Amino acid sequence: MDTTRHNWTREEILEIYNKPFMDLLYEAATVHRQNHDPNTVQVSTLLSIKTGGCSEDCGYCPQAARYHTNVEGNDLMSVSQVKAQAMRAKEAGSSRVCMGAAWRNVKDGQEFDDVLEMVRTINRLGLEVCCTLGMITENQAKRLAEAGLYAYNHNLDSSEEYYKEVISTRGYQDRLDTIENVRKTAVTVCSGGIIGMGESAEDRAGMLVALSTLNPQPESVPINALVPVEGTPMAKQKQVSIWEMVRMIATTRIVMPETQVRLSAGRTQMSREGQAMCFFAGANSIFAGDKLLTTPNPDVNEDMEMFKTLGLNPQKPFVKKAQPQTVDAENSEYRALGEKPRWTRPGHIIERNLAAQGKSKA
Ligand code: SF4
């Protein structure tokens, strides 16, 4: 019987988030122990298979073409390059490879066919495969599932209200629709967000309402601390404190007890003690590798040393769900439909995004 609640309100979540710190930590650690092995942490490797040159205006992202950052764009990696990197990730102890492409949405064609081949290749290596490719249609989600995809990542980023302060080129509902398209397949959902973008505690709670009221809740929820990058609209944002990060992780753990909560971007700025507190509060997944798409991340060896110090063990692949079958391209049930879905473009004015492009309303 599913005992997970899907009717959390913003007020209830805020109340949890604002509890005295020790009470919050204790409650979250208790929920964590009831639902997970507290000494096991899932390790994922994030591979940027297509970097930069993105048409979107996400205010936190150095890959948006319109901002002047130091990110060098790359075309889509080849299947053999991806295979080599996935093998290295496996040797280093990762159970999951997450491939990220800086696209607004997936378009049918050679590049998507290549991504499908990458999914088949990594699944055959015995690793969980995740993709984050932007918005996808139901048919595209089905094709990914058939190739052997284990998880699809599509972050909500923030509350619906604050999302409008961050991105003007797409709408929140498109995010939810993509998640729903993934849910029409056996692929698991990975969706979370970022704190430290200037949002309030109410917005953080609002994002957790949006995620926890999904039924089923996402199987994994990444919580990122903004890494402010020069040239982006959020370059001058103050670093989020470890206390806020622990509060966010603990609250996520309490409202989504069975989810794998991923301690994602921003770990470089955290001490090992801070990270240990996050694991105690219910984080049970990290990204390994010295880069997270384009921003720095702790070295794999440093992470393994930290695991040793804390007595943590990396989670084996397919512990939570059986390995999907991979169907070869020639035996596929689905064909590319060449759809032209109408994903929205709200186009409202976000002053700080315009200022970072060197434009202003005035
Ligand atoms: S977050 Fe993704 S969609 Fe937004 S600008 Fe960056 S790469 Fe593009």
- Condensed to tens digits (0 to 9), the pLDDT of residues 106-163 reads 999 999 999 999 999 999 999 999 999 999 999 999 999 999 999 999 999 999 999 9
**pTM of the predicted model, to two decimals?**
0.94
- Using alpha carbons only, how large is the chain's radius of gyration in Å? 19
Q: pLDDT tens per residue, the chain (362 residues)? A: 677 999 999 999 999 999 999 999 999 999 999 999 999 999 999 999 999 989 999 999 999 999 988 888 889 999 999 999 999 999 888 999 999 999 999 999 999 999 999 999 999 999 999 999 999 999 999 999 999 999 999 999 999 999 999 999 999 999 999 999 999 999 999 999 999 999 999 999 999 999 999 999 999 999 999 999 999 999 999 999 999 999 999 999 999 999 999 998 888 889 999 999 999 999 999 988 666 566 666 777 888 889 999 999 999 999 999 999 999 999 999 989 888 888 999 999 999 999 999 865 44
CA pair distance 334, 324, nearest whole angstrom: 17
The residue type at 261: V
The one catalytic residue among 131, 143, 183, 190: 190
- Around Cβ 302, how many Cβ atoms within 10 Å? 15
Closest atom, ligand 1, to C-alpha of 57: 5
CA pair distance 133, 328, nearest whole angstrom: 21
Question: Is 130 noted as a catalytic residue in this protein?
Answer: yes
Give the residue whose CA is nearest to atom 5 of ligand 1: 64
- Asked if 111 contacts 105 with a C-beta cutoff of 8 angstroms, the reply is no
The answer to whether the CB of 63 is under 6 A from ligand 1 is yes
Give the rounded distance of the alpha carbon of 7 from its chain centre. 23
Establish how many alpha carbons lie within 13 A of residue 141's alpha carbon, considering only the half-sphere containing its beta carbon. Answer: 22
Question: Is 262 noted as a catalytic residue in this protein?
Answer: yes
Instruction: Give the SS3 label for residue 231.
Output: coil
CA pair distance 144, 247, nearest whole angstrom: 35
- Asked if 229 contacts 295 with a C-beta cutoff of 8 angstroms, the reply is yes
Report residue 119 as tokens: 């999914």
The one catalytic residue among 170, 247, 262, 267: 262
Closest CA to 78 of 114, 40, 119, 38: 114
